[in-house]
C-alpha cells in the first residue's frame, strides 16, 4: 500500500513538475537571435563634426601648393580635362591606378586632389585605398589611422575615419588658403586580409553614402599588375585614371594595365615625371585617351 502510495505521489510530483515546466516555457517569450550581427557601422555622415588634424604636407611632394610653376600648370591642365570629361558623362569618383609600384599614383592622386580643392568651393575627398603600403597620409603629414581598413572591417564609422586639416594654420602656405574643403580618409592599419576587405563590395556602399557630400572623390590604389585590389575598387568608381612613368613604364605594362580595367571607363593615361626640364620645367604630366598609350602621337602637353 505504502509503495503504491509512494509511486502515485512520485507520479503526481513528476506531472506537476512537467506542467510547471510547460507553463514556464509558455511564459518565456521566444527570442530568435539574429544570426547575422548587425553592422556596427553607421552610414550617416556629418561633415561638420569630422576630426580636424594639423596636417603638415611635404612641399616636395606637393608642387600644387606653390603659387605658380610647371607643376601647378600641369595639374591645372589635368584638372580641366577631368571637368571636360564630366561634361561628356557623369564623373565624380576617380580611381587612380597604374601597373607597377612607384609610377606616381599617390603623387598624382594627392596633387590632383589639392589642385581641385584650391580651385573649388565644394568639398573634395581623397581616399587612400592602398591598404598594403599606404603613403598618402605621409605626403599630407596626416594621421594614418583609423581609416578605410577599420571601416571595411566594421570597427569604425564613417565619421571616425574622415579627417580634414585644422585651421587657422594654413596647408597652402603661399595663398593662405586652408583648403578646408579637402577631406581625407587614410588607409588605416595594414592587415593581412586587405583583399577580402576590398572584395566585399562594402567600399561601393561607402562611396554611395559619401557621394552626395562631395564634388570630387579621388581614390589612390595599389599597383594593379601586382595585386587585384584596384579592380575590386574600380566597381565603386565612375572612371579610372591611369599613370605611367616617363622613361620607366614599358609599353606592354601600360597595355596590360589598361586591359586589367577593361570593364571600367578609362579616362586616360597621365604620363608622369617626364624629364625634359630644359623645355618643360621639372615636372611634366601628359594625358590622353586610353588609345593614346602608344605615347607621343596623341598625348597633349597642356602648356603648349
Ligand atoms: N612627377 C614626379 N616628380 C618627382 N618625383 C615624383 C614624381 N612622381 C612621383 N615621384 C616620386 O616617386 C616616388 C614614387 O611615387 P608614388 O609613391 O607616388 O608612386 P606609387 O605609384 O604610388 O607607388 P606605389 O605603387 O608603391 O604606391 C615618390 O617618392 C614620389 O615622390
Ligand atoms: Mg602609392
Q: Which stretch of DSSP H or E encloses residue 53?
A: strand 51-53
Segment 4-17 mean pLDDT: 58
Cis preceding-peptide flag for 135 (omega within 30 of 0): no
**Grid coordinates belonging to 209:** 553614402
**Ligand 1 proximity of 97 Cβ (cutoff 6 Å):** no
**Residues with a beta carbon under 5 angstroms from ion ligand 2:** 105-106
> Does the pLDDT at position 298 exceed 80?
no
> Does the pLDDT at position 33 exceed 50?
no
Of 33-37, 108-112, 147-151, which range is least confident? 33-37
Distance 220 CA to ligand 2 centre (A): 7
pLDDT confidence band for 107 (50 / 70 / 90): very high
**Ligand 1 proximity of 106 Cβ (cutoff 6 Å):** yes
Of 169-173, 222-226, 264-268, which range is least confident? 169-173
pLDDT confidence band for 179 (50 / 70 / 90): confident
**Ligand 1 proximity of 107 Cβ (cutoff 6 Å):** yes
DSSP-derived 3-state class of residue 148: helix
Alpha-carbon gap, residue 228 to 226, rounded angstroms: 7
pTM for this model (two decimals): 0.81
Distance 24 CA to ligand 1 centre (A): 69
pLDDT score recorded for residue 302: 32
Report which bound ligand comes closest to the CA of 111. 1
pLDDT score recorded for residue 72: 92
279-292: pLDDT as tens digits: 444 445 555 444 33
pLDDT confidence band for 18 (50 / 70 / 90): low
> Does the pLDDT at position 110 exceed 60?
yes
Query: Residue 130 in contact with residue 137, Cβ under 8 Å?
Result: no
**Ligand 1 proximity of 130 Cβ (cutoff 6 Å):** yes
The ranges assigned to domains in the chain are: 1-32, 46-294
Residues 6+ apart with CB under 8 A from 128: 106, 134, 135, 136, 137, 147, 148, 184, 185, 186, 187, 220
CATH topology of domain 46-294: Rossmann fold (3.40.50)
Report which bound ligand comes closest to the CA of 101. 1
Distance 47 CA to ligand 1 centre (A): 30
Segment 244-269 mean pLDDT: 96
Amino acid at each position: 500500500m505504502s509503495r503504491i502510495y509512494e509511486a502515485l505521489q512520485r507520479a503526481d510530483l513528476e506531472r506537476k513538475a512537467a506542467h510547471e515546466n510547460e507553463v514556464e516555457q509558455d511564459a518565456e517569450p521566444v527570442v530568435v537571435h539574429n544570426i547575422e550581427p548587425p553592422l556596427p557601422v553607421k552610414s550617416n555622415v556629418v561633415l561638420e563634426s569630422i576630426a580636424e588634424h594639423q596636417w603638415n604636407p611635404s612641399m616636395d611632394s606637393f608642387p600644387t601648393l606653390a603659387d605658380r610653376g610647371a607643376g601647378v600648370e600641369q595639374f591645372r591642365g589635368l584638372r580641366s580635362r577631368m571637368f571636360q570629361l564630366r561634361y561628356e558623362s557623369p564623373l565624380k569618383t576617380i580611381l587612380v591606378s597604374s601597373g607597377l609600384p612607384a609610377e606616381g599614383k599617390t603623387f598624382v592622386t594627392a596633387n590632383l586632389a589639392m589642385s581641385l580643392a584650391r580651385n573649388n568651393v565644394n568639398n573634395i575627398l581623397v581616399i587612400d585605398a592602398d591598404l598594403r603600403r599606404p603613403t598618402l597620409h605621409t605626403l599630407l603629414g596626416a594621421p594614418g589611422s583609423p581609416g578605410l581598413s577599420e571601416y571595411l572591417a566594421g570597427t569604425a564609422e564613417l565619421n571616425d575615419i574622415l579627417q580634414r586639416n585644422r585651421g587657422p594654420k594654413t596647408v597652402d602656405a603661399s595663398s593662405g588658403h586652408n583648403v578646408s574643403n579637402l577631406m581625407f580618409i587614410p588607409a588605416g592599419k595594414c592587415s593581412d586580409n586587405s583583399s577580402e576587405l576590398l572584395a566585399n563590395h562594402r567600399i561601393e556602399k561607402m562611396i554611395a553614402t559619401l557621394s552626395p557630400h562631395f564634388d570630387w572623390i579621388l581614390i589612390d590604389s595599389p599597383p594593379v599588375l601586382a595585386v587585384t585590389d584596384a579592380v575590386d575598387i574600380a566597381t565603386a568608381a565612375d572612371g579610372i585614371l591611369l599613370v605611367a612613368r616617363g622613361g620607366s613604364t614599358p609599353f606592354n605594362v601600360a597595355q596590360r594595365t589598361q586591359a586589367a580595367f577593361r570593364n571600367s571607363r578609362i579616362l586616360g593615361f597621365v604620363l608622369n615625371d617626364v624629364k625634359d626640364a630644359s623645355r618643360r620645367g621639372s615636372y611634366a604630366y601628359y594625358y590622353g585617351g586610353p588609345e593614346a598609350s602608344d605615347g607621343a602621337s596623341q598625348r597633349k602637353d597642356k602648356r603648349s
